[in-house]
Amino acid sequence: MSSDIAIFVSTGLATTVGTIAVIVNLHINRRNRRINNTLQLARDFDQDHTFVQARMYMWEKFLNLPNNHYNWEDLVNEIQLENKSEELAMITKDDLIALNRVAAFYKMIAGLVTNNEVDIPLLRSLFCYNYNRFWQPVRGKFEVYADESDKVLFVRIPELESAY
């Protein structure tokens, strides 16, 4: 009888230790996956950065647009016309492509943040400056003056706003 009790106690203890190990392993794997996802974002940004860096001054072009030119679809259509207005004469298709790629990048980051798939402190250290210095002013203009359908593209990421 006492040997049966000893077997039950040792089995229970082994099960408890095994359960704790599984929970700790799960937590560590989840944290490592978040860090890896965040570092992959940095790699993606670095690969695309040469394209955006060549047009870094394009932010000013979009910030200087009159308020009636912040409808994304109308802006894309008007840029493609031969006879553009004076305000749009300096904006090229490449500028629109660069802005669209940056918007898609931040939209992807927002989705990963929402799904808790990235490490927020690491994300802040990597992207907070660029988000607040370049993306936030342009995003704010489109958010205020664009149609509802355009606002979905120009997302706000509060986790990156707070650390600047």
Per the CB < 8 A criterion, the answer to whether 109 and 118 are in contact is yes
Q: Whose CA is closest to 161, among 145, 144, 140?
A: 140
Q: How far apart are CA 28 and CA 49, in angstroms?
A: 31
Dmax over Cα atoms in the chain, in whole Å?
96
89 — pLDDT class (breaks 50, 70, 90): confident
pLDDT of residue 53: 63
Taking the C-alpha atoms of residue 2 and residue 62, their distance in angstroms, rounded to an integer, is 81
Q: What's the chain's average pLDDT?
A: 81
Tokens of 68: 């009636």
d(CA 103, CA 76): 14
Crossing angle for the helix pair 120-130 and 2-53, nearest 10 degrees? Answer: 10
For residue range 11-59, list pLDDT tens digits in order.
777 788 888 888 888 888 888 888 888 888 888 877 766 666 655 667 7
Stated pTM of the model = 0.77
Q: What is the pLDDT of residue 38?
A: 87
Residue 51: both structure tokens together: 């394209």
Grouping H, G, I as helix, E, B as strand and the rest as coil, residue 131 is helix
Tokens found for residue 10: 């040792």
**pLDDT tens-digit readout, 100-132:** 888 888 899 999 999 999 999 999 998 888 888
Domain ranges of the chain: 34-161
